[in-house]
Structure 1
């Protein structure tokens, strides 16, 4: 048996600029970090080599890889021609909550299958290949930030260039600032999942509108400002930029926010938060806020939402167990 783990991510600023419709015209960038919540994948030969068993939110037992319902499993297993195995997927958080679950799964599966084949591949390869599968082959209306975050891990400034290349630059700051940032970020679950594809499809379409493009340009400028604030160990400015970024993001497409979400955000600002955002495409999932530790109890009490504790993660996708005879 072989087991891998791949981290989920939280994006602070610049989300949306990783979509090709934008970065082909204007360079995109995001600032994000991976967290200590993971997707785990295990693989080993199945008892009956004529069949392939997949276990995720449902079970699939097939004799022909083309019969697989799960689009990512079907695409990658057919491409790698791996069958006669049992693959089990478990995760610390469900999909549709804004933590990049789909791309985390894709990166994790690619890492798992390459290791199962006895091949070492780079993080860059895993990220770029995951993008090709999700965006080019499966036609998902998504960007590139989640794949690179999951593959590389850590707190990074990621740039998306017009020629489709991607640069990943770690954020350098004092260790005390890093720990304080981690402690001052607090996340809550709204209790609602979202349809990221629907929201992002609308956002892609809106790239034809000059006003939406200008707002996204402002968001990428804020991402650069946030990078400089962190490198200058200025966390108060970080919180203010988080707020400014959310005010711009909510204008990019229908479904990103609603009356209920706006009420949560307003309540948070009145009770200690300097800034925040709904993670992922919007519409539900997790709310992230920047709030000093001495005001976090007041914030928790005022919102009455389930807190979701986390810490930063640095490693990206990795192998955590190798059995005696895992290879093909």
Structure 2
């Protein structure tokens, strides 16, 4: 039996610039950039060998099929195809938080976690960067999902990361770990609050609009890329309050990328939080629902809880230094 653990993520700044249609465009000489972090909320994938050759799947539904092609869960189906696992397995996925429409990169975390566990089942290992590239191949190239590529890298790599995409090459991705002192990491994390908006959304609808708008929003995307670079610089310098203010500027720009990223309810919640002392924030992921991330100095957090917490559930979290990993591996020796 194999168990993989893969972290979810928070994208601070630069979301939208990780779409290949933007960063790999021939007219974009600078590419895209994202600054984000993995958090201690996880997707777990369990792969267990079975005596028979059927395929058993357990997620929000249950499937029992004879062939990979019959699998309805598209991520499991394509991960099995890529890794060459044809049958004789039971696969279970578990999530710490709602995995649909949370804005925490859950679909890519599931894909990365599946690949990590299935390759371990096959006795193979790949680097974090290779797993992320494979996950993006499944979601973007095979399933044609409208999405960026950052989620798979943050899930696979872990830590606080500055990631650069392109330019002019959809497969060119470089990353840097922002290795802050432990006390600085603790201070930064302590100033971040995460609230569940009590609603999920179909991110593909919003992301499809973003993709369609890329050519008309190039100036906004350029500014978001520059803000991601600026965010990395502020974090390195431990200028955390300035980073919080940059989150606000980034959110104001992000809402211009497509309809549906925000609405009057989200705007009201965010305005109340800002009025109570939050320096900045954003809806995690594509927008429209899921989790609201806020940067709030410690002295203002109780006030923010009073104005927001009555409507929303707070999710305490910490940063996760590690990316996807195998936390349990007991395989039958095929040669014994």
Q: TM-score range by the shorter chain?
A: over 0.9
TM-score, with length taken from structure 1 = 0.97
Q: Name 2:58's counterpart in structure 1.
A: 55
| 1:212-244 per-position Cα deviation (integer Å, ceiling 9, x unaligned) | 110111111111111111111111110110000
3-state SS, counterpart of residue 121 of structure 1: coil
What displacement does 1:98 show? Answer: 0.2
Give the drift of 1:77: 1.4
Output one character per residue of 1:258-307: Cα deviation in whole Å (capped at 9) or x when no partner. Answer: 00000011001000100000000000000000001121011011112110
Quote the residue 1:84 is aligned against.
Answer: 88
1:327–1:262 CA distance, 2 compared to 1 (3 A):
farther
CA contact (8 A) 1:173 1:232 kept: no
| Runs of 5+ consecutive residues of structure 1 not aligned to the other structure | none
- Determine which of 124, 131, 135 is the counterpart of 1:126: 131
Calculate the aligned-residue CA RMSD, in Å: 1.2
Measured in 1, the distance between the counterparts of 2:203 and 2:249 equals 22
Of the three residues 103, 112, 121, the one matched with 2:108 is 103
Mapped to 1, the partners of 2:92 and 2:76 lie a distance apart of 11
Displacement of 1:324 in angstroms is: 5.2
Unmatched tracts of structure 2, length 5 or more: none
Which 4+ runs in 1 deviate beyond 4 A?
none
Q: Which moved more, 1:142-151 or 1:81-90?
A: 81-90
Q: Distance in 1 between matches of 2:23 and 2:94?
A: 33
Query: What TM-score does the superposition give when structure 2 sets the normalisation length?
Result: 0.94
**Structure 1 326/62 Cα, relative in aligned 2: closer, same or farther at 3 Å?**
farther
1:88-167 correspondence to structure 2 within 5 Å: 88-94=92-98, 95-161=100-166, 162-164=168-170, 165-167=172-174
Once the two structures are superposed, what CA deviation does each residue of 1:74-123 show, in whole Å capped at 9, x if it has no partner?
11213333111001110101221100010000101011111111111111
Residue number in structure 1 paired with 2:75: 72
Within the candidate set 288, 291, 295, 1:286 is matched to 291
